[in-house]
Structure 1
Amino acid sequence: MSDHCSRLVRKCDDDDGPPVKRQKLENVEVAKSDTKIHQLNNDCLELVFGHLKFKDLFCLAMASDQLDSAAAMVFRRKYGKNEIKFTGDGITHLIEDEYLGFSVKQASTYKSFLHKFGAQLSKLNIEVQSTMYTAVEPILRNDCLVSLVELSLGDCRYESSKLSVFGSIEQPFQNVEKLSLNRCHLNENASKLNKWFPALSSLSLYDNSYSDPNTIIAEYPKIVLFSAGSWRGPADLTEAQILAILRLNPTIQCLDIGLAADGNELDFYRQVNDILPQLERLQMCWEAKSFANGNEVITFKAVKNLTLNFTFNAFTGARVLPFAFDQLMEMELINMPIVNNTWLEFIGYNKKLTKLMVLPFNEDGLFMDRPNNQDLLRIAKELPNLITLAIDVTRITTDCIVQFMQMCQSLTTLQLYWNDLNSFNHNVWVDGTFFEQIDGEWNIPKRIISPITLKRKGI
C-alpha cells in the first residue's frame, strides 16, 4: 500500500483523535456511460415503471414506441384486472369503489389508449358519445379480442340517442364472460350475438332498441345470469320475448327483470317458475301497479337469493310480494318506502335467512316508515340463522342495537345505515359509549360515516 493510501486509511480509522479535515482527491476519473433508458432490458424497465401512476404510465407509452412494451407489462400487472372506464370526461380505473384517472377531450386519446393497452385489459366499460364510440369500436374489435373478460357498453349519461354497436364483427370475443348493453342499438346483425360472444355466462340488456328484437332470441350455451328490462319508454323486449329466451337457455340460474308494471306480472312469473325450476337468484323492480291482478301465491322451490328494488314504487308499498320460497337464504329490500307489519311477516316467514338488507328510500322531505326498535328485535327473534344484516338505523337507538347484537349469536356482520339529512339520538359519535360496549367482541371501524360496518372478531 502506498504512503498516500496509508495516510487516508489512518485518518478514517482514527476515531479517538481530533477531527481531521478531509483532503481533496484530484484527478479521479469518473466512469462514463452512453447507455440510454431504452437500451435497458425489460426487467429493469418494468422495475422502474412500476412506480408510475395510471396517467403517467399511459403518457410514457405514448412518448416512446421503444418503451411501450415494458409499460404495457407494468399496466397489466397494476391495472389489468381493474375495470377501465371510458366516459365523456376521461379514462378511469376502478379501485376500492372509486374511479380514478385523467380527463380526455379527443377521440384519438381513447384510440391510443386501446392501441397501447387494449391487449392488457380484462374489464372495459364504455360510456361515450356515438361519434367517439364509432372511432373506438374498430380498435376494440381488434386489440381487445383476447384479453377482455367483461364488456359494458352504453351512453345513458351523455346523449338521448342510443349507441349503434357492433355493426359487424369478423372475429368473436372468445373470452368475454360478462356483457352488458345499456341504451344501445342493435341492428339485424344482433342475430350473431351468441356467435360474437360464445363464452357468455352473464348477459344484461337494458333500455336498448333493436331493428328486430327477435334476433337475440337465441341459445347462449354457457349463460347463467340474464338481465333484461326497460324503464324509459316501451319495453325493448316484451315479456313473451324474454320467456322465449329463457326457454332456449335452461342453464340460467340468476334472473334480473325490470319491466314497467302492467298488473299481469303474476302470469309472467308463473311461467318463469315453470321454465326455470332450478332458478337460484331472482332480482326484480317493484312498481306501484305491480301484481295488481290475481291473488295466487307462486312458490319458488330453489330460489335462495331475492332482491326487490322499490325505486319506481311511488311510495305505495303496502302489498307484499305474492311469492313463497322453500330455500330462501338471502333477501335484499332496497329503496323500500314502507316497513310495516305485513312486510315484517313476509320477512319472518323465511326462517332460513342468513342475510337480510332493509334500506328505505333515503330522501329528505319524503315520508318514510323506517325500521324501529321493535322491528329490529323482532328480526332477532324470528331469524335465528342470521349472519349478515344491513339496516337503516335512523329510528333505532344505540341501546337497542347492542341488545340485538347480544341476541343474535350467529351474527358476524352488521351494517348500519342512517339518513344523513336528518339528526337522530345515537351516541355512537358523541361519547363512544356504543363502541365501548361492543369493543371486546367486535372490530371497531376507523371511520364513523354511513354506513358503519361492524365485523365480529375472530371471523
Structure 2
Amino acid sequence: MDNRNEAADRKRQPEGANPPANKRSKTSETVSADVQRASNKTAQQPTKIHYTRLRRRMDEEEEEKLAKLGPDPNLCTTKLTDVNVDCLEHIFKNLRLIDLLNVADSNKQLKPAADLVFASRYGKQWIFIHSRYKSILIERNMCPTTVQIPRSFRLKLLRCFGHLITKLDITHDKHMDAYVNEYCADSLVEIKFQRCKASTLDDLRKPFTQVRTLCFDSCKLGSKLSELDKWFPEVRRLEFNHQNESDCNETAVHLPKLRHLSLFLPADEKNHLNKKYFEELLRLNPNIRTLDIGGHFDAKYLQNVSKYLQRLESLKFSSIQHLSDIGNGTVRFPNVKRLHLWGTALDHSLTNFISQHKKLTKLTFSSIGHCEEGALLKITSPALVEVDFGNFHFPSDEVASFVAECPSLKKLTVAFGNENDYEAFQKWLGNEWREIKKYSYYHICRVTIER
C-alpha cells in the first residue's frame, strides 16, 4: 500500500523537481541566473523599441525645421565639379602628369581643365614612348627627361591627351600604332618612328592631316610606303635615317608640299631602301629646297641627282667616295645658298666644287685637320655672309686675306695653330670685328668673330 502511494506522489511531482541521480541537474544558483537574464531581456526590449522610435521622430522634426529655415549660409555645398574651368586649371597646375592623367580619365566634367593644363605644359614638347624605357620621356629644354609616369600608362595617355600631342617619338609596340592613328591623327605635327615593323604603316586607317615632319629611323616599311602622299598629305620634311628596310619593291611618290629631304644610302642594298628608290624620289619631287644626304655614295650619284635639284637652296653631305670627281664641273647645284660639308678634307677638288657655286651665303665644315696651302683663298666669294671652318686651322695671314676678299662676311669661325697666330690676326682686324666665342685645346685656338 505504501509503495503504491509513493509512486502516485512521484507522478504528481513536476518534472525536474527531483531529477534522477544519473542525469546532470541545475543548481539553484544557475536557475536563479537564468531567471534574472530572462527578466532583464523582457524589461529591456520595450525600452529599446521606444528609444528607436523616439530618435526617429526627433530626426524627422529636425529635418522639418531645417527645411523651413533654408540652407545654412555658413555651410559650403559647392562640389569640385561646380568650380569653373579657370579655377580648376589653376588647381590642376600643381598635379604631376600621372595625377593629371587620372583626373582626365575619371571625370568628364574635370577633363576640359586637365586638357588645358596638359596643352600648356606638354603640348609643344616631344613625347618619347619607347619599348625599352620603363617610363615615358618628355623633352624639356632640348633634353629628354624622365617623367614620373610608368610606361604601362602609355595607352591611357594617348586615349586621354592624344588630341593635344603635337610631337611624338615612338617605337613599335602592341596596340601602340592603332592608338596613335586613332587619337593623334588630327593633332600631330611631327612624328618619328623608330625600329617599327612593316605593320606600322599597313595598319593605318586614317591619314595624319597635320603632320609636317615625318621621320623613319631603322624601320621595316611595308607596302604603304608607296602611299605616303595619301597618309601624310601635308608632309614638308621627310627623313630616312640609318638603315631603313623594305621587303617590297616600293614605288616613289610625289609629295606636293615636300621641301626638305634627308637620306641615308646603305652600303649593302639587300632588303634596304636602295639608291634607285631615293633617286626616283628626288626626280618626282623637284621642289625640294634642302637635301641632307649621308651613307655610302660617290660623286657620280651626286651628278645623277643634281639634274633634278635645280631649285635646291641648301645641301649637306658627308664624306663621299671618289671625292676627286666632285670638282670636275659635272656636279652643280646652281641655286645653292647654304652648304654644309661633314668629314671631308679641304683639298683641291673640294675647293673647285665650292668655287663653282657663286650664290653661297653660308658655308659650314664639320671636320678637323690641316688644309692645302692656299685652299682658303680659292673659296672666297663676295656673296659669303657666314663661314664656319670647324676645326680646320690656317695661318693668320691667309685668314686675313680671306676676310679681305669677302666684303659681305658678317660672321667667321676659324681655328689657329697657336695663340700667337690669333693675336697677330686680332691686330690686323682692328675694332671692326669683335670676339664672341673662344675655345682653346691642346695647341689649337678656335674663335668666332662677328663684324
TM over 0.5: yes
Give runs of aligned pairs for residues 317-396 of structure 1, distance below 5 A: 318=347, 320-321=349-350, 323=353, 324-341=356-373, 343-348=375-380, 350-360=381-391, 370-371=393-394, 373-374=396-397, 376-391=399-414, 395-396=418-419
Equivalent residue, structure 1, for 2:119: 76
Which runs of no fewer than 5 residues in structure 2 stay unpaired? 1-71
Equivalent residue, structure 1, for 2:168: 124
Does structure 1 conserve the Cα–Cα contact (< 8 Å) formed by 2:393 and 2:414?
Answer: no
TM-score, structure 1 normalization: 0.70
Equivalent residue, structure 1, for 2:245: 209
Pairwise CA distance, 1:57? 4.0
Does structure 1 conserve the Cα–Cα contact (< 8 Å) formed by 2:389 and 2:415?
Answer: yes
1:146 aligns with 2:177: no
Gap change, CA 1:335 and 1:63, over 3 Å in 2: farther
2:310 to 257, 262, 277: 277
Equivalent residue, structure 1, for 2:258: 223
Equivalent residue, structure 2, for 1:10: none
Pairwise CA distance, 1:380? 2.8
2:147 to 71, 87, 102: 102
CA distance in 1, matches of 2:155, 2:229: 26
Does structure 2 conserve the Cα–Cα contact (< 8 Å) formed by 1:380 and 1:408?
Answer: no
Pairwise CA distance, 1:254? 1.1
Does structure 1 conserve the Cα–Cα contact (< 8 Å) formed by 2:177 and 2:203?
Answer: no
Does structure 2 conserve the Cα–Cα contact (< 8 Å) formed by 1:178 and 1:200?
Answer: yes
1:137 aligns with 2:169: no
Give runs of aligned pairs for residues 84-95 of structure 1, distance below 5 A: 84-87=127-130, 88-89=132-133, 90-95=135-140
TM-score, structure 2 normalization: 0.71
What SS does the aligned partner of 1:300 have? coil
Gap change, CA 1:228 and 1:408, over 3 Å in 2: farther
1:42 to 69, 74, 85: 85
Does structure 1 conserve the Cα–Cα contact (< 8 Å) formed by 2:374 and 2:398?
Answer: no
1:115 aligns with 2:159: yes
Pairwise CA distance, 1:153? 1.3
Equivalent residue, structure 1, for 2:287: 251
CA distance in 2, matches of 1:252, 1:109: 40
Gap change, CA 1:63 and 1:272, over 3 Å in 2: same
For residues 237-289 of structure 1, what are the alpha-carbon distances to aligned partners after superposition, in whole Å with 9 as ceiling and x for unaligned? 3333222112211211111111313xxx33322233322211111111114x3
Equivalent residue, structure 2, for 1:187: 222
| Percentage of identical aligned residues | 24
Gap change, CA 1:415 and 1:372, over 3 Å in 2: farther
Gap change, CA 1:339 and 1:105, over 3 Å in 2: farther
Pairwise CA distance, 1:306? 0.6
CA distance in 2, matches of 1:452, 1:164: 50
Which letter does structure 1 place at the counterpart of 2:78?
T
Pairwise CA distance, 1:336? 3.6
Equivalent residue, structure 2, for 1:12: none
Does structure 2 conserve the Cα–Cα contact (< 8 Å) formed by 1:390 and 1:417?
Answer: no
What SS does the aligned partner of 2:234 have? coil
CA distance in 2, matches of 1:339, 1:174: 49
Does structure 2 conserve the Cα–Cα contact (< 8 Å) formed by 1:162 and 1:184?
Answer: yes
Pairwise CA distance, 1:376? 4.5
CA distance in 2, matches of 1:134, 1:33: 48
For residues 167-202 of structure 1, what are the alpha-carbon distances to aligned partners after superposition, in whole Å with 9 as ceiling and x for unaligned? 221211111111011111111122211110011111
What SS does the aligned partner of 2:282 have? helix
Which letter does structure 1 place at the counterpart of 2:294?
G
Does structure 2 conserve the Cα–Cα contact (< 8 Å) formed by 1:415 and 1:453?
Answer: yes
CA distance in 2, matches of 1:376, 1:268: 33
Which runs of no fewer than 5 residues in structure 1 stay unpaired? 1-28, 156-160, 361-368, 427-450
Does structure 1 conserve the Cα–Cα contact (< 8 Å) formed by 2:382 and 2:405?
Answer: yes
Does structure 1 conserve the Cα–Cα contact (< 8 Å) formed by 2:167 and 2:188?
Answer: yes
CA distance in 2, matches of 1:51, 1:452: 45
Does structure 2 conserve the Cα–Cα contact (< 8 Å) formed by 1:174 and 1:198?
Answer: yes
Pairwise CA distance, 1:122? 1.4
Q: CA RMSD in A?
A: 3.4
Pairwise CA distance, 1:359? 2.0
What SS does the aligned partner of 1:356 have? strand
1:168 aligns with 2:200: no
Does structure 1 conserve the Cα–Cα contact (< 8 Å) formed by 2:318 and 2:341?
Answer: yes
Gap change, CA 1:355 and 1:167, over 3 Å in 2: same
For residues 41-63 of structure 1, what are the alpha-carbon distances to aligned partners after superposition, in whole Å with 9 as ceiling and x for unaligned? 21211122335565664465456
Gap change, CA 1:374 and 1:453, over 3 Å in 2: closer
What SS does the aligned partner of 2:341 have? strand
CA distance in 1, matches of 2:390, 2:257: 34
CA distance in 2, matches of 1:281, 1:67: 48
CA distance in 2, matches of 1:452, 1:344: 17
What SS does the aligned partner of 1:115 have? helix
